[in-house]
Each structure stands twice: as structure tokens, then as C-alpha cells.
């Protein structure tokens, strides 16, 4: 079971250091844990979590090794820092920064080739679900990805991200089962995962972990979710 905390644009280096120091001193057995700080806080997180089982991943990664791509960071640069992986294709990247299935796949491919682990996020919008298009959307998004030992998919329905509206365990199980029939990789659920709903979501057979946003920002709630995962 893998629990990844996506900090989004929260926690600069000082706050990240404080969180990592406390996380480092927390007993976390039987679960794989990853934190995904903003770029500027990756170095301190890598440094403070070195020698622990907790991994550090970026929230995005460019497909080129280097070049004239203002504002971007490449996979070799992340590797140099000791970063273990990267999220690609988050719905906020798609919504606000023009990311597409193609750019997501290109980022994923280059990151995997450079030796990073990748969490590729997929998921339908509320309108797509209401129109009965969920499976078509997931099929299209996953078609751009290739199975890889270092690839994990995160199913995050857009309508559940940051809204407090979690998918029911049945919806998550159905979507994960469908995704697994298309691509044989571990699938995380994401979208308003909290300590209160983690057990029912994580106990679904096709749910291999969670990508946690809001609830990963507080140590107590993040640790509670990690411990729930460890207990299942």
C-alpha cells in the first residue's frame, strides 16, 4: 500500500523542514510513504528524510533533459537532488496550465526513462461522469501510458479533488477495476481522502493506496491515513 501526500503550493522550505522532522520521528511501519513538496522544498525534504523509508517526489517534471523551457524542471535535475519520483498530469495542471493527455504521457515517459518513479493522475470531471463518459475518458487517458515497473496511476475524479466530495468506495472500486483491466499497474485513489474515509476506500480490493492533498498537510491526519493503510 502506498500513501502519497501532494502538498500542492503549500509549505516553503521552513514549513517543509518542520513537517519532515516530525514525520521522521513518527513510527510508520508496513506502508510505503511519499511526500510531494513544491520544487523549492524538495532539497530540504530529501535531506531530512535521508536514511528513512519515506520517499520524496516532485509534483511535475519536464520531458526534456535541459533546454529553453522557462519555469520547468527536468528529471535528471530531480535525480541529482535525490528525488525519487514525480506526479504527472494532475488535474490542476490540466485545468490551469494547459496540460493534456499527450504532455502527461511525454512527461511520464521521460521521467521513467531517467529512472524516476511516476504517479500519473487520471480521472473524469463531474460533467463527464453525468454524461456517462467516465470509462471513455479513463480509457483515453490511460491509452497514452505504458505499463512500467515504476509507474503508478492515481485515479482522482476531478469532482472529488479538494471538494470534500469523496467517491464512494463502490465508485472507486469500479473505476480502479476498469483501469486495471487496461493497464496492469498499482492504482491509488485520490480526492478528499481523510482519516475518516481512508479505511473504507483503501480496503477496496483494487485500491492500492491513496494520493492525498489537503489531509497530507497536517502531520496528524497524514499519519492517521498512513497507519490506516498499514493496518489493512
Interaction between residue 195 and ligand PGA (CB under 6 A):
no
Phi, psi of 188 (to 5 degrees): -95, 150
Using the rule CB under 6 A, which residue among 211, 223, 226, 229 binds ligand PGA?
A: 211
Query: Which residues pair with residue 34 across a beta bridge?
Result: 4, 55
Instruction: In whole angstroms, give the CA distance from residue 34 to residue 211.
Output: 9
**Rounded to whole angstroms, how far apart are CA atoms 227 and 225?**
5
* Residue nearer to ligand PGA on the CB measure, 99 or 156: 156
- The β-bridge relationship of strands 187-190 and 55-58 is unpaired
From 13-21, 56-64, 77-85, 209-217, give the range in contact with ligand PGA by CB under 6 A.
Answer: 209-217
Query: E-assigned strands of 113-177?
Result: 117-122, 151-155
Contact present, 58 and 42 (Cβ < 8 Å): yes
Judged by CB under 6 A, which of 195, 209, 213, 226 binds ligand PGA?
213
Judged by CB, which is closer to ligand PGA: 29, or 96? 96
Q: Is 60 in the site for ligand PGA (CB under 6 A)?
A: no
Judged by CB, which is closer to ligand PGA: 66, or 196?
A: 196
- Residue 221 in contact with ligand PGA, rule: CB under 6 A: no
Question: Does 6 engage in binding with ligand PGA (CB under 6 A)?
Answer: yes
* Residue nearest to ligand PGA as judged by C-beta position: 213
Q: Are 75 and 81 in contact (CB under 8 A)?
A: no
Cite the active site residues: 90, 156
According to the binding rule CB under 6 A, does residue 89 interact with ligand PGA?
A: no
Residue 179 exposure: Cα atoms within 13 Å on the Cβ side: 34
**From CA 49, how far away is CA 101, in angstroms rounded?**
32
| 105 binds ligand PGA, rule: CB under 6 A | no
Distance between CA atoms of residues 186 and 209, nearest Å: 8
Nearer to ligand PGA, 110 or 192 (CB): 192
**According to CB under 6 A, which residues from 171 to 190 bind ligand PGA?**
190
| 124 near ligand PGA (CB under 6 A) | no
Contact residues toward ligand PGA (CB under 6 A) are: 6, 156, 161-162, 190-193, 211-215
Amino acid at each position: 500500500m502506498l500513501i502519497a501526500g501532494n502538498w500542492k503550493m503549500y509549505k516553503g522550505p521552513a514549513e517543509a523542514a518542520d513537517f519532515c522532522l516530525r514525520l521522521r520521528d513518527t513510527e510508520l511501519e508496513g506502508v510505503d510513504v511519499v511526500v510531494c513538496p513544491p520544487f523549492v522544498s524538495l532539497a530540504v525534504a530529501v535531506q531530512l528524510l535521508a536514511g528513512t523509508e519515506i520517499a520524496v517526489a516532485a509534483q511535475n517534471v519536464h520531458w526534456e533533459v535541459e533546454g529553453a523551457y522557462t519555469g520547468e524542471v527536468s528529471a535528471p535535475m530531480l535525480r541529482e537532488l535525490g528525488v525519487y519520483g514525480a506526479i504527472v498530469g494532475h488535474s490542476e495542471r490540466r485545468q490551469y496550465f494547459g496540460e493534456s493527455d499527450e504532455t502527461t504521457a511525454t512527461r511520464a515517459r521521460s521521467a521513467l526513462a531517467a529512472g524516476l518513479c511516476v504517479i500519473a493522475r487520471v480521472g473524469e470531471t463531474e460533467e463527464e461522469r453525468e454524461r456517462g463518459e467516465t470509462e471513455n475518458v479513463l480509457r483515453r487517458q490511460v491509452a497514452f501510458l505504458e505499463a512500467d515497473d515504476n509507474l503508478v496511476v492515481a485515479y482522482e475524479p476531478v469532482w472529488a479533488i479538494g471538494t470534500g466530495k469523496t467517491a464512494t468506495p463502490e465508485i472507486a472500486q469500479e473505476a480502479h477495476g476498469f483501469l486495471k483491466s487496461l493497464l496492469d499497474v498499482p492504482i491509488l485513489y485520490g480526492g478528499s481522502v481523510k482519516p475518516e474515509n481512508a479505511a473504507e476506500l483503501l480496503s477496496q480490493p483494487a485500491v492500492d493506496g491513496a494520493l492525498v492533498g489537503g489531509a497530507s498537510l497536517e502531520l496528524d491526519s497524514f499519519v492517521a491515513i498512513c497507519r490506516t493503510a498499514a493496518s489493512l
